[in-house]
Amino acid sequence: MVWLFAHTARFPKHERFRLAKRIDDALFDFHACLVRAAQTQTQEKLSEADNHLNLLRAYLRIGVELGYTTPKQYQYASEHTSELGKLLGGWMKKA
């Protein structure tokens, strides 16, 4: 989360309130769903977290296409989002 927040803070000023905000919001929403899922152990919150993670991935791809994220930065972010997806998938199977 910290790396991604620092990364979106370096987006051009006109994008900080558009794409960067969407990335940050998707990340915050994903985290909030995980916290709620840990408290309630419901499949619904895990599915919601999965949706937010998919949105985050899509927004990161848009960042690359627009040139705000380098391919190397995208690779770093996608490796971590992939790992989060695997962990989330395991949790969803267990629940």
Would you give per-residue pLDDT tens digits along the chain (95 residues)? 999 999 999 999 988 889 999 999 999 999 999 999 989 878 899 999 999 999 999 999 999 999 999 999 999 999 999 999 999 999 989 87
Q: Read off φ and ψ for residue 85, nearest 5 degrees.
A: -65, -40
Q: Who's near 7: CB < 8 A, 6+ residues apart?
A: 69, 73, 77
Residue 41 is predicted with a pLDDT of 77
CB contact at 8 A, 46 and 20: no
Residue 51 is predicted with a pLDDT of 96
Residue 86 is predicted with a pLDDT of 95
Helices (H), the chain: 2-9, 13-16, 19-40, 43-65, 71-94
